[in-house]
Amino acid sequence: MPLYRGRKSLQRALLLLRRAGAAEGSTDLPEPPAGTELHKYWELATGKRKLNYVRAASSNPGKKVAAKIHPFGINPPAATPPPTLVKYSNRAKGAMSAQVGDAGDLNHVTTADADPINRGRNFRAATITVFNPTGTETPETSQTLGSSYKKRAGASYTFPFGTNPTGTLAYSEVRADLLGKAIALNPDASVSFKPEILK
């Protein structure tokens, strides 16, 4: 039985519960003391309990739409290189102007005659995620460990982005530009990025 994958420190603590001499990869884990955070984690690791998260309507991505970008990690093979097909939520597309600007700021290719390449699972576009908090923090209970934490309601939007057609704009340059635009539009927003992955 594979172990639930989560926090590395708790994962390590569970593995230390194995009896001396247990085979490598064994999931025969003695039960930790009831009422502890480690016990809560043990329940997940052994399949005795499952997480059940209800996604708020304000963060539900909904239908996916297509966009075309030029990846940072590919040298343009021609004067007019073909763009790469990516997808993101229609909900985010509708909020683009209020969160990051327009498609040009994300370096989306908008010309209809640019036939894109679908790179499938070998490619994940760089993304910017903008979280706009609303209201005040409210206490919540962690389903993983049963501990309390504070959560602030809000809405988040994720957008893929790329470089320009000639590949002269570096990821760091586009990232900095988008960060500035997102904060200018929503000063209280929390902004995060994920770099491109190209296999």
What is the per-residue pLDDT across 119-162, written as a single tens digit (0 to 9) for each? 888 899 999 999 998 877 777 777 777 677 677 788 899 999 99
Q: Is residue 84 part of a domain?
A: yes
Residue 3 has pLDDT above 50, yes or no: no
Q: In terms of domains, do 159 and 191 share one?
A: yes
What is the extent of the structural domain holding 72? 58-198
DSSP assignment, residue 97?
H
Q: In terms of domains, do 88 and 168 share one?
A: yes
Q: Is residue 1 part of a domain?
A: no
Q: Is residue 141 part of a domain?
A: yes
DSSP assignment, residue 72?
T
4-8, 45-49, 132-136, 174-178: segment of lowest average pLDDT: 4-8
Distance of CA 60 to the CA centre of its chain: 13
Q: In terms of domains, do 98 and 187 share one?
A: yes
35-39, 52-56, 101-105: segment of lowest average pLDDT: 52-56
Q: In terms of domains, do 118 and 39 share one?
A: no
Q: In terms of domains, do 16 and 93 share one?
A: no
Q: In terms of domains, do 33 and 94 share one?
A: no
Q: In terms of domains, do 21 and 81 share one?
A: no
20-24, 56-60, 104-108 — most confident range: 104-108
More confident residue, 6 or 161: 161
Q: Give the whole-angstrom CA distance, residue 145 versus residue 157.
A: 28
More confident residue, 57 or 183: 183
Written as one letter, the residue type at 33 is P
For 81, how many CA atoms within 13 A lie in the half-sphere containing its CB?
18
Q: Are 38 and 10 in contact (CB under 8 A)?
A: yes
Q: Give the whole-angstrom CA distance, residue 108 versus residue 141.
A: 40
Confidence bin at 58 (pLDDT 50/70/90): low
Distance of CA 167 to the CA centre of its chain: 25
More confident residue, 136 or 168: 168
More confident residue, 54 or 185: 185
Give the count of domains, the chain: 2
Q: Are 157 and 175 in contact (CB under 8 A)?
A: no
Q: In terms of domains, do 125 and 64 share one?
A: yes
Q: Give the whole-angstrom CA distance, residue 109 versus residue 40.
A: 48
Q: Is residue 3 part of a domain?
A: no
Q: In terms of domains, do 95 and 179 share one?
A: yes
Q: Is residue 53 part of a domain?
A: no
Residue 5 has pLDDT above 60, yes or no: no
Q: Give the whole-angstrom CA distance, residue 103 versus residue 43.
A: 46
